[in-house]
Chains A and B, each alone.
Chain A
């Protein structure tokens, strides 16, 4: 194995390439049109354009990938995670083309890819599973009865699914048929397979998974567990190893069960056996992921192993060490997934230009595929980076991770950064008192609110104003040598206003002989020691000297300091009257494609009725009637691409 084609993109492509470089293996990247300037393309020795924008047009094209491997003489393919990582068809096609597929055998993928089939196999092997019902053969009229058998609420899950896509929680019989429909559509568009099934719902469970590794000689070992209970919309966002919750007995049982599961299917390569752990310590097999997981770095951190290297070794036919030779768990590691999304707005993906992206790297591992200036679009997963902190204790790891996230400079898109930091500092999290409903108990709106409050925002606004002042003075074409804002008869301060979210911040300053006078809102502030430059401001406020980094992009100001990060839009000195939207108009909450329109002009709707469905970032978003009334305008059609803020419909009360 001399050259590996990485059939993936972003951070995981870069991560695989890093190991390949270390092992002296050449790498080939493939990329869509959207990714042509991406880092992973240049990290690779060679790169092959796939064309296209969407995943279906690029990274999911098996023929193009095989052609790319042929053109570059690659002898192996690493699928990463997502895309074709769990496609038996792709694994088989690689084998048929004479390429080593770095992953399990196609039959294993196939068996584990079907949640229904995998459960059957696990039941046979004696691994406890969550009760479930397949519904392919059940007529619509009898679905509700099938649900009754499992009890309510229950889950509708995509057989081929993962990451919460194609999954719906159904509270009662009424919502079942619609949820199945929605899950099918999402599954179909995400995985190309719209099979769904029903599963009993375990309340307040913890999500614990075991990393296993199998070689081609029949040995399966585990690399301990990971806990991934902090989730939003079934999407893991904080993962750690080891689990803070398992007793020695349960841990031993669950690790053994995972190895048993692996052995039952003759598992080869890296895999993950996922379990739900109920509060009483009982656990159920959930599914097996036949790939490298997003969260594999926490396992690497506590074991010191390189999982990609192990995958390659196994694919080369090498023997795995015995279980007893696996290094013991060292300390504790926590990973946070930084997403471009808005926790204050139902986690809607946030798109735009990522103007700046810097995470202080001391003591943390950052796996990122993004870079300054990249467009965060609607076509791929909105994860910007994974940040992994390793500590002697869980508390140390959490502290370090929160610190790194808090100090990150992320300009241009909204992120879940504040939410991650607040979770990592939450007493319940620190006590290990977590389950998958953490973000249902604790409001994402509160946790995700900006880390900087009103006071910090005000100081940052003042810093932004002073930096702009420096910019303007440096650019002055006349009288540039005169002291800033000089007056021989001063009557007022220089006034600047900013919009920060829903808040308006008015700041003023006057730099005179005796120093600077300033106000934030209607409060005078004592400021001294000012050094204002276009890109940074240093000043002492209330006795504390800080440096404020100021940058501007896309019409916004971004200010970062030890107090945190804020961004503003400057309010024009001469505001123009805005065109007002008709009351009752519904704007697209984000850019996306209209998948369904359920109403027509003239329809009477009740508040909360489904009007249309928007799909973006592979998730469906329901647009509901905010008020009861009549649909008087409809400005969106199925299949149409709409931008954020576009009025989709107007309802007259």
Chain B
């Protein structure tokens, strides 16, 4: 696990480094702050910041972080979603991963009702990849105004370029702050205007902060410098009269009795070796106090009640990876109970899937799995998913995988996600190939199969690893296992910004 954590840290360092020393230096020479420096100045002192998908795009050919920083932080006592373009990476241009990261941040803000700050300085879309950005990219603006329509304040602080389509970022925001002599917000710059109409014009005339503050009215506030923009942003947040809609923590937060440091040793390096997930729970929940529900039934799935940072919640955690009918039924009941009690649910995944085999098919494993998937799909309390090991097959679905839209989904660095294990997948493919060859009466090339099988297993394995999936925005980030309590606590708190209400309305439970 230490190696995984070290590798995570190396990728995070790459993300912090932005476009590299040369571009960071050039940015500083212009007396500008880096995106994280801007965020730090915007945040309340000593309050936390949970960066989301910090390793987005890592290993894809783009710089780790995807030229955008997103995260949940506290501004003037308001929990906010903060986005900041990184102008040191290709001028802050939006690439496909950055777009996905941005839209995911919007989605989280909308689901959890988090006021949104956008710290803008971006050269627009990465034109070489326009096909991947132009059409889906419209959502950058559509979703921004939908947030506003949902009553969620949107605040743009413009530090530099925000031109062409980018001009609609401030354009769609509730509040706009522009930095004097720095912000440039226009649909077309001087060369384009010259080409289009023959008019001679300057940046300042077309889109300077002074012009927008005094003439066009697009800027609500003109900041004297970058720090002043943050000061004004904090002022805006302080005047939002913001109230969270959830009930908030019900009790005092009590640290777990067991040391979080030991989480590094709890999860097995080899996912085939099972570990007691209660060891994880004991190092995450308040006072290590976990009231198990149905402890004697369906023991491969542990369910129970606990609190994190005083937020009460239900926990479903895979103990040994396989889900049988009993586990599925237990989960369906537990999810309904949490909905009755309006309690958020935390899914701790280490699942190999639902049991296969004639005995289990005949026992109705599909029916029972469907109960669980039905419950998790229709449940309306906030879901937070944490992968502490493998997540395979329909088990991923039943345990609130990405497609089931949990409010947040985090991975431990050892996590693996795939439709099935690489060896099983390659083996299955091999069996299918052999059967096809036999059906056609062809001789089966054992050596070639062995080679194909190994290569496939290797590729599937690589694609199942946390750095791979996280780089592709299939989750909200890889976390250090020792931060689990903090990350879950912040997620629960964010979820409580919105109403926390369960439902009695599920799909037809097939009995």
Residues on A close to B: CB < 8 A? Answer: 468-469, 472-473, 476-489, 491-492, 494, 496, 513, 573-575, 577
Report which of B15, B34, B47 forms a contact with A479, defined as CB distance below 8 A.
Answer: B47
Distance in angstroms between the alpha carbons of A478 and B497 in the assembled complex: 10
Report chain B residues within 8 Å CB of A483.
48, 486
Q: Whole-angstrom distance between the alpha carbons of A476 and B45 in the complex? A: 10
Instruction: Return the chain A residue nearest B227 by Cβ.
Output: A574
CB distance from A470 to the nearest CB of B (A): 9
For residue B316, CB closer than 8 A to chain A, the reply is no
Interface pair A494/B46, CB less than 8 Å apart:
yes
With beta carbons under 8 angstroms apart, the residue of B15, B46, B486, B487 that contacts A472 is B46
Given contacts A485-B48, A486-B49, A488-B477, contact A479 B490 (CB under 8 A): yes
Q: Is B51 an interface residue (CB 8 A)?
A: yes
Q: Give A330 to B182 CA distance when docked, in angstroms.
A: 77
Question: Which residue on B lies nearest to A511, using beta carbons?
Answer: B46
Instruction: Check B77 against A478 for contact (C-beta < 8 Å).
Output: yes
B249–A489 touching, CB < 8 Å: no
The one of B37, B249, B482 in contact with A481, judged by C-beta atoms closer than 8 angstroms, is B249
CA distance A54 to B245 in the complex (A): 59
Residue from the set A469, A477, A481, A574 with the largest chain B CB neighbour count within 10 Å: A481
With a cutoff of 8 Å between Cβ atoms, the chain B residues found around residue A486 in the complex are 48-49, 483, 486
B36 touches A473 (CB 8 A): no
Q: Are A479 and B483 in contact (CB under 8 A)?
A: no
Partner of B46, one of A469, A481, A491, A574: A469
Could you name 21 residue pairs across A and B whose Cβ atoms are closer than 8 Å? Answer: A469-B45, A472-B45, A476-B47, A476-B77, A478-B79, A478-B493, A479-B309, A479-B489, A481-B249, A481-B253, A482-B48, A482-B489, A483-B486, A485-B45, A485-B47, A488-B483, A492-B37, A513-B482, A573-B227, A573-B231, A574-B231
Whether the pair A489, B51 counts as a contact (CB closer than 8 A) is: yes
Q: How far is the CB of B95 from chain A (nearest CB, A)?
A: 19
Chain A residues with CB under 8 Å of B309's CB are 479, 481-482
Residue picked from A489, A496, A573, most chain B C-beta under 10 Å: A489
Band of interface residues on B: 35 or more
What mask results when residues 244 to 259 of chain B are scored 1 for a CB within 8 Å of chain A, else 0?
1000010001000000
Give chain A residues whose Cβ lies under 8 Å from the Cβ of B187. Answer: none
CB of A515 to closest CB in B, whole Å: 13
Q: Are A472 and B44 in contact (CB under 8 A)?
A: yes
Residues of A within 8 A of B490 (CB): 479, 482
A477 nearest CB neighbor, chain B only: B77
Bound CA span A573–B41, Å = 8
Residues in chain A near residue B54, CB distance under 8 A:
488-489
Provide the bound-state CA to CA distance between A308 and B188, in Å.
91
A478 to B79, alpha carbons, bound, how many Å? 7
Is B12 in contact with chain A by the CB < 8 A criterion?
A: yes
Q: When A and B form their complex, which 6 residue pairs have the shortest distance between CB atoms, in order from nearest?
A: A481-B253, A574-B231, A481-B309, A486-B48, A491-B36, A482-B48
Within residues 230 to 244 of chain B, which ones have a CB less than 8 A from any CB in chain A? 230-231, 244
CB distance from A446 to the nearest CB of B (A): 37
Contact B50 A488 (CB under 8 A): yes
A478 B244 Cβ-Cβ under 8 A: yes
A126 to chain B, nearest CB (A): 75
Q: How far is the CA of A509 from the CA of B15 in the complex (A)?
A: 22
Could you say which of A472, A479, A496 has the most chain B C-beta atoms within 10 Å of its C-beta? Answer: A479
* Nearest residue, chain A, Cβ from B253: A481
Decide yes or no whether B228 CB sits under 8 A from chain A: yes
* Interface residue? B74 (CB, 8 A): yes
| CA of A225 to CA of B387, assembled, Å | 85
Interface of A, secondary structure class, is loop
Interface check B342, CB cutoff 8 A = no
Q: Is there a chain A Cβ closer than 8 Å to B310's Cβ?
A: yes
Residues of B within 8 Å of A494, CB to CB, are 45-46
* Contact for B493 among A479, A491, A513, A573, CB less than 8 A: A479
- In the docked arrangement, what's the CA distance between A574 and B40, Å? 13
B402 interface residue (CB < 8 Å to A):
no
Judging by beta carbons under 8 Å apart, are B51 and A487 in contact?
Answer: yes
Determine whether the beta carbon of B48 is less than 8 Å from that of A491: no
CB distance B45 to A479 under 8 Å? no
B319 interface residue per 8 A CB criterion: no
Q: How far apart are the CA atoms of A409 and B431 in the complex, in Å?
A: 84
Per-residue CB contact flags for chain B residues 36-80 toward chain A (1 = under 8 Å, else 0) read 110011001111111100100000000000000000001001110
Chain B residue at minimum C-beta to C-beta distance from A487: B49
Report yes or no: B487 in contact with A488, Cβ–Cβ below 8 A.
yes
CB-CB under 8 A from A473, the residues of chain B are: 46
What distance in Å separates the Cβ of B297 from its nearest Cβ neighbour in chain A? Answer: 33
Within 8 A of A (CB), among B1-28: 12, 15-16
A489 vs B479: C-alpha distance when bound (angstroms): 10
Closest CB of chain B to A76's CB: distance in Å? 61
The answer to whether B121 has its CB under 8 Å from any CB of chain A is no
CB contacts under 8 Å to A, within B479-500, are: 479-480, 482-483, 486-487, 489-490, 493
Residue of A nearest to B482 (CB): A513
Contacts of B16 on A, CB cut-off 8 Å?
A: 489, 491
Closest residue to B248 on the A side, CB-wise? A478
Residue from A485, A491, A494, A575 with most neighbouring chain B CB atoms (10 Å)? A491
A489 touches B15 (CB 8 A): yes
Contact B40 A491 (CB under 8 A): yes
Decide if B74 touches A476 in the complex (CB within 8 Å).
Answer: yes
Minimum C-beta distance from A573 to chain B (A): 7
Nearest CB to that of B65 among chain A residues? A489
Verify B74–A478 contact, CB threshold 8 A.
Answer: yes
Residues of chain A lying within 8 A (CB to CB) of residue B12: 489
In Å, the complex CA distance between A476 and B78 comes to: 10
A573 CA to B227 CA in the complex, in Å? 8
A485 to B73 CA separation, bound complex (whole angstroms): 10
Write out the residue numbers on chain B whose beta carbons fall within 8 Å of the beta carbon of A575. 227
The answer on a CB contact under 8 Å between B230 and A574 is yes
CB distance from A534 to the nearest CB of B (A): 12
Question: What is the CA–CA distance of A480 and B489 in the complex, to the nearest angstrom?
Answer: 10
Query: Across the interface, do B74 and A488 meet the contact criterion of CB distance under 8 Å?
Result: no
Shortest Cβ distance from residue A469 to the other chain B in the assembled complex, whole angstroms? 5
CB atoms of A479 and B40 under 8 A apart: no
Determine how close the nearest CB of chain B comes to the CB of A180; give it in whole angstroms.
Answer: 57
A291 CB to nearest B CB, Å: 56
Residues of B within 8 A of A491 (CB): 16, 34, 36-37, 40
Which of A486, A492, A575: most chain B CB closer than 10 A?
A486
Q: What distance in Å separates the Cβ of B53 from its nearest Cβ neighbour in chain A?
A: 11
Contacts beyond the supplied A486-B486, A573-B41: 14 A-B pairs with Cβ under 8 Å = A472-B47, A478-B74, A478-B78, A478-B493, A481-B309, A482-B486, A484-B46, A485-B45, A487-B51, A488-B54, A488-B477, A488-B480, A489-B15, A577-B224
Cβ contacts under 8 Å, B489 to chain A: 479, 481-482
Residues from chain B with Cβ under 8 Å of A496 in the complex: 45
Instruction: Note all chain A residues with C-beta closer than 8 A to B37.
Output: 491-492
Q: Do A488 and B479 touch across chains, with their CB atoms under 8 A apart?
A: yes
A10 to B306: give the CA distance in the assembly, Å: 61
Residue among B46, B47, B48 with max Cβ neighbours from chain A (10 Å): B46
Q: Which residues of A contact B79 (CB under 8 A)?
A: 478-479
Most buried by B among A469, A482, A486, A575: A482
* Set of chain B residues within 8 Å of A480, measured between Cβ atoms: 253
B17: nearest chain-A partner, CB-CB: A491
- Give the complex CA separation of A403 and B426 in angstroms: 80
Q: Tell me which of A479, A486, A488 has the highest count of chain B C-beta atoms within 10 A of its own C-beta.
A: A488
CA of A473 to CA of B77, assembled, Å? 11
Which partner residue on chain B sits nearest A472 by CB separation?
B46
Q: Which residue of B lies closest to A478 (CB)?
A: B79
Which residue in chain B gives the minimum CB-CB distance to A469?
B46
* Chain A nearest CB, measured from B211 CB (Å): 23
* Beta-carbon contact of B310 and A481 below 8 Å: yes
> How many angstroms from the CA of A485 to the CA of B46 in the assembled complex?
4
How long is the Cα–Cα vector from A513 to B5 in the complex, in angstroms?
Answer: 14
Contacts of A476 in B (CB 8 A): 44, 47, 74, 77
Q: Given the complex of chains A and B, what is the CA–CA distance between A488 and B72 in angstroms?
A: 11
Q: Inside 8 A of B224's CB, which chain A residues have their CB?
A: 577
Q: Is the CB of B46 within 8 A of A488?
A: no
